Chain A
Amino acid sequence: MENITLFINGKGVSCPTGSSLLEAAELNGIKIPRLCYHPELKPLGGCRLCLVEDEKTGKILASCVMPASPNMSILTDTPRINRHRRNIVRLMMAEHPESCIVCNKGNRCQLRQIAAQLGLGQTGLYHMPNYKPIEQANPFIIRDLTKCVLCGKCIRADHELVQTGAIDYNFRGFKSRPLTLHDLPLEQSNCTFCGTCVSICPTGALAPKNLTHAGTPERESDSVCGFCGVGCSLTLGVIGKQIVETNPSHLPETLNGATLCVRGHFAHDFLNAEQRLTQPLMRAEDKLAPVSWNEAVNHVASRLLEIKKTFGPQSIGFLGSSKCTNEENYLFQKIARTVLETNNVDNGGYLSGRSCLDLIDSRTGGGWRVSPLSNLEKAESIVVIGADPGNSAPVVGYYIRRTAKKGIPMIVVDPRRTDLVPFSTVWLRILPERDLQLINCLAALLWKRFGHDTGFIDRFTENFTKYSEGLSSFNHQRLCVEAGVDMISLERVVELLKGKKIAFVIGHGILQQRNAARAADAILNLMLMTGSLGTDTGGLYLLARENNQAGALDMGSAPDLLPGRENLGDSRQRQRFERAWEVRLSPDQGLNAIRMITEAEKGTLKALYIMGENPLRSLPQPERVLKALQNLEFLVVQDILKTETSTVAHVVLPGASFSEKAGSYTNMEGRIQCVEPVVSPPLEARPDWMILDMVSEKMGRFTRYDSLEKIRAEIVRHIPEYQGLSNGKKTFWINNTSKKGLFQPDGQGEPISFFPVAFAEDRPHDDNYPFTAILGSTRFHLGSGTRTSHSKRIGNFGKNGHVEISPSDGLELNLVNGDRIRIQSRHGSIERELILEKGLAQGLVLAPIGFEENDAMKLLPLTPFEDRTSRGLKTCQVRIDKIQ
């Protein structure tokens, strides 16, 4: 972009064409006071504090909305301007209440800062505060609109960044203020409590509700959110040793910018929960009693070695965590593989679509993995399939809504009316788990209508002919009926997508379903056919439930993968690690997360080391899991909270949360982010990598690392994707190691093969269980909700966990809103309150997970995915009865 030159305060400066005067000044280190300007929002020109003077004409201009033009001569700090600024601030102060002493915003209040800069103390005006009621019924946000200066930042952030539309200016003049629809309290409006408005508010009009602390944090440090796989940048506010406030970080080029979601913003109070584990515990006479670290670690080491000696390495399992750092996951699997010589190592991410990931990784050589969310805003079209990012990964939802609002075609494929539906161009309301049929039909129609990208297919792929023959053989009408979609809508989608690159956003509706791998295959085929893979204007976005799901797999925390996601069955790779670790590695893959439990149930698995995972809550059929865990000779649980699982352990080791330790996390985009500790772990708790280091030293296989840098050096040595870890950068992307031509800068390399079309197997219908329950997440809880349920704020709010059915089903079963019902599957039952939801199709039940000890898991069978009888984790057949 061309630069233009102009004069600010007599000094020649330059800025890119199209900059405003304020941006031009900012770029050259000249600070202009302002209240309503925010770099991520469209300028408003409302507060008039950014006034500058045009030296040539003497005109006074609002610099945030005035474009810079060549040879302008601007003065930013003249007596005339300052007189205007002072008058504006005096008027604001005259309307502002005198509650500064008790205001949580304290010295961060921008009105106060500007008044101080302008040297204003007394206004000299009649004080006329515009009192309005304080709203603080909800557990997240306190709204005191008396302090509102009408800068409109909250409204603009709501409309432009998060696209929720919860508030807007209402009335005018003295009565003007931001209101919700029908002036309802926030908790009854469509507000999602993302808190973006709270962080962006320049005064104390919007403040986070703090239950334990009042006042301004003593210090602030940057970190990365520990909840979902998006990995937003945070700034954590600390008082004493406790984290009391969370805001989006002010770092440049973060993926979330000024936004966050309700979990990221308000649920981190779980870090101060009473249920935090603070010292090592050991079971003595049926009770867990505190012991010293030395005793606990000695016991763990000797018992594990003993069991290995007596029952063999296959009798021990290591269940790790997709919430722990890369370094910890690396160490964890290394201990399992080298010290205890078992491949029985897995992490909780197993539940979130391993089969899909494996398939996509192997077909693309992993080249798809760097997929920056910022590219979503460049997409030519978006297809959201089986994903409800508004609940599961809200920040991804903001990206999609922003793009859709610009008029880019956005197709939602979902049986539920998700919060993306109002933004969508077309909503294909398919039947649950019929995504494969729909994708097949879509591909066949696009092929028929010449919607394929011949250039791309010729250059980067192979075996297209066979695939296209398969497509030609489809009966569109039949597939359409099977998917439950009408042909007219589908034809419209084809018209919208034809000739465009498609960005696919895939969620747990695909990842956890029975046909997951086949659906992923079909999506990949469709992406290759339309030339959408590996481009900025298309691309593949897989939602990750937990913050380090991708990293845990990269580190080899899986029964069939070595670090770098290398296949354990590949003898060349195995030998590489055998040499490096000086150990013999078994080529047989170990037990996955679910099979560890079923083997413990049978009694073949004798010991289990669980790090940062709560299988009693996250796995199906909790009563079976409990029996299996009780069946173990030895159970070690390393966690940060007292969980259902830790209470049945033999030894409990207190670990540290993301804010209390250093390490790196890999998010769903393929971005690796390093964090430093913000506070120290509570009492005797220690960073998890240190605990693992102590345990492995006691078992005497390899020497202690003692520092994170040494672990990192080893990761860099063995995993080419993680080269960036050595250069001390805070944020970097995984290296591309795919050999596929599509992902090479020069386009030279192996072609990606089309797979022949796959068909869905239908499951037999069971008349005893006529409904299909969909297990969906809500934005207030993450996954099984172990951590979020310990957040006091969330606990106060999201207790209901209502299930939803369609009004017509309600009529048939004689059920009304608020009825208590029992939902029963072949495997268990839960009781919930009911809501009739218009957006839901007949025959469906939507049951939220994360609530009431995540009891929704009772409905599912404990079956590993690869098992032929597996039904996936997303849906199950149920019956509904009213509880009298």
Chain B
Amino acid sequence: MNACTRDEWMTIAAARLLPDRSVCFVGIGLPSAACNLARLTHAPGIVLIYESGAIGTRPDVLPLSIGDGELAETAACVVPLPEVFSYYLQAGRIDIGFLGAAQIDRHGNLNSTVIGSYDAPTTRLPGAGGAPEIAQHAKQVFVMARASKRSFVERIDFRTSAGYLDGHGARARSGAPGGGPRAVITDFGMLAPHPQSEELQLVALFAGASVEEARAAIGWPLVVADHLDTIAPPSAHELDTLRALNARTREAHARPVRIPL
């Protein structure tokens, strides 16, 4: 399976974490690919919710935006956006929320707002979107982020959404109802919080990846968990299904659109 890309590795590893019939709050990009791959392989009963209001959606191609028509057409129902956030997310009806970020720290706190200071940023990022409340309320959060010392950092420049705050139970003491970031899926494998310190540790490596490679990509002294797993290579079925999904998506997004004149 050496031929598979790191994005394919990450997508397949994330998909495997999703139980059948779980209710997932999905973001655009790799999370959307992972959730739909799970739906097309081992988890046909998974319920995918996009913040645009599409509930129980089963898109044939991945959406480019969070509100593509495909999501509405294949949804069990479409509800107004305030309902998604108050009646479903805030009400505790989401099992798994997916987040990405430009920066993540060792306690799983995320930044998607600015690089530099808020008032005079060197890079203005898109901002919070649904992230702060997904991080607060989802029963568990999975983070997908490509690893580098610029993204996995000692200190994030801005806390857009809360992970375990300063660790050692700080999140639970803050009263956040959700469970926080239980898994961080990245280029070489997976990080997860230590049960006491809540510091992200290396818990699994992709077959063929090394601890040295992981340490080189993380901006804090990465601790290896007492038990280090190996993530089995993608099966032919997983890889074929994902590649077919991506091919359908590329073809659909490249199709010329009639200008409504």
Is chain B a partner of chain A in the same complex? no
A residues adjacent to B (C-beta < 8 A): none
